Amino acid sequence: MLRLTWMLSFIKQMLPLSVRVNLWRLRNKSQNLRQRLNHRLTGRCHVCQGKNFRRYSNPVVARLPFSFYICTQCGFIFALPPSNLSEVYAEITTTEFGEGEATWNRHYLDSINKYTNAPGKLLEIGFGNGSFLKLAHEEGWEVYGAELSAPLVNHAREELKLPNIGLGTIEELNYADGSFDVVAGFNFIEHVPDPKGTLEGLWRILKPSGIVVLMCPNISGIYHLLMPEILADNDPLKISWVPPHHLSYFNKTNLRVLLENSGFTVVGDESHLMSSLWRQFEVNIGPQVTDSKLQQLISEIRDSPSQKGEARVEKYREAIKSLLVERMTWTMLSDLSALEPLLGAEVGVLLLGKRQGE
């Protein structure tokens, strides 16, 4: 059986890219037809609970075999989950993200320390390679971890020697109500099929006034806003932010609304250092280079104050795009991280919410 699977995957690799892309399109289009129909009839927006959706598309999305929807009330963009979601994560193995990882783990923990009194009981959901949990453990937090992948669970238990590591969803792991001071999910909430239901589950296992910490990609960040141009000639099979992995597309506004609709008050926005996420690509691209055109653009934006967010990105769109598309290297993307905080269009959103009420 293994041999057959291996042979099929070998044959698949031999096929020309265009055939592989077509097969992938066909397979994904035929899946989940029933779920699509069902959602159309009974679905609710996970952010605002609205009932009206339309299909969403842009030049990149149009090339993908997935159906995306946008809520006409709040603008939340999402895709429907496949039926075998647990299987998707069951066998994922360790990924190391190089030097950048220490930077963003440090920022996550500093952000948590800023809104809590002392190290307490902390759960990370979808802990991946476990590097954040390890840091929190070393700094005196009583750590717990939940993960769907057996190899990653084994890595955390055996290599990192972390305590309280569980394999499964938070429902399956059955944590008692009011257990934790902090529940964290980094690159997590965009992967779950029901973000509101998931947050309500986190609310339940948090202590009164406990803190939920979420970091996810920012759909209103420079990278996502320029996606059509960046990916114009790229192989769609290499896009990592599509279903079955990413199912929800958040920005600061709708992640905040989602938290507030799920029993939390947003107490912190610590997105400003999330441009350090670019540093994961340094592993592949080597050291950064300084670009004089980029430095010029940064000074220009700094000297001309205007509103932040998408409107401001729009104003500088052509200038940023020409730098990006002209050079089209990860080094340039990495350098562009300097622009993100200036524009309020960081690659990731990092929000902290305090549990409210009973």
CA distances in angstroms from 287 to 260, 306, 328, listed in the order given: 41, 32, 16
Shortest separation between residue 215's beta carbon and Zn ion, angstroms: 21
Please choose, out of 10-18, 66-74, 201-209, 226-234, the segment that lies near Zn ion by the rule CB under 5 A: 66-74
Which of 20, 39, 61, 73 forms a contact with Zn ion (CB under 5 A)?
73
Cα-based distances in Å from 67 to 38, 84, 151: 14, 17, 31
Asked if residue 50 binds Zn ion (CB under 5 A), the reply is: yes
Residue 190 or 340: the one with the smaller Cβ distance to Zn ion is 190
Q: Does 47 bind Zn ion (CB under 5 A)?
A: yes
**Window contacting Zn ion (CB under 5 A); options: 63-71, 115-123, 229-237, 307-315:** 63-71
Min. distance of Cβ 54 from Zn ion in angstroms? Answer: 12
Nearest to Zn ion of 75, 268 (CB atom)? 75
Q: How many CB atoms lie within 10 A of CB 269?
A: 15
- 50 versus 82: smaller Cβ distance to Zn ion: 50
**Burial class of residue 56 (count of CB atoms within 10 Å of its CB; 0-12, 13-18, 19+):** middle
Q: Give least dist CB 48 to Zn ion, A.
A: 3
Minimal distance, residue 258 CB to Zn ion, in Å: 9
- Give the span between the Cα atoms of 280 and 282, in whole angstroms: 5
Nearest in space to 217 (alpha carbons), one of 245, 180, 257, 181: 245
Contact with Zn ion (CB under 5 A) among 66, 68, 70, 71 = 71
CB atoms < 10 A from the CB of 300, how many?
11
Shortest CA distance to 245 belongs to which of 92, 350, 123, 351? 92
Q: How far is the CB of 159 from Zn ion (least distance, A)?
A: 42
Pairing type for strands 77-79 and 248-249 reads antiparallel
**187 with 226: CB under 8 angstroms?**
no
Size of the site for Zn ion (CB under 5 A): 8
Residues 98, 54: contact at Cβ < 8 Å? no
Per CB under 5 A, 48 contacts Zn ion: yes
Q: Please name the residue ranges forming H helices in the chain.
A: 2-14, 17-30, 33-42, 85-90, 100-115, 131-138, 150-154, 170-173, 195-205, 222-225, 227-230, 252-261, 282-285, 292-303, 310-327, 330-336, 339-343
Selected from 53, 66, 68, 76, the binder of Zn ion by CB under 5 A is 76
Nearer to Zn ion, 119 or 193 (CB): 193
Contacting range for Zn ion; rule: CB under 5 A; set: 35-43, 44-52, 101-109, 298-306: 44-52
Among residues 21, 61, 64, 74, the one that binds Zn ion under rule CB under 5 A: 74
**In this complex, which beta carbon is closest to Zn ion, that of residue 52 or of residue 290?**
52
Contact between 45 and Zn ion per CB under 5 A: yes
**Footprint of Zn ion on this chain (CB under 5 A)?**
45, 47-48, 50, 71, 73-74, 76
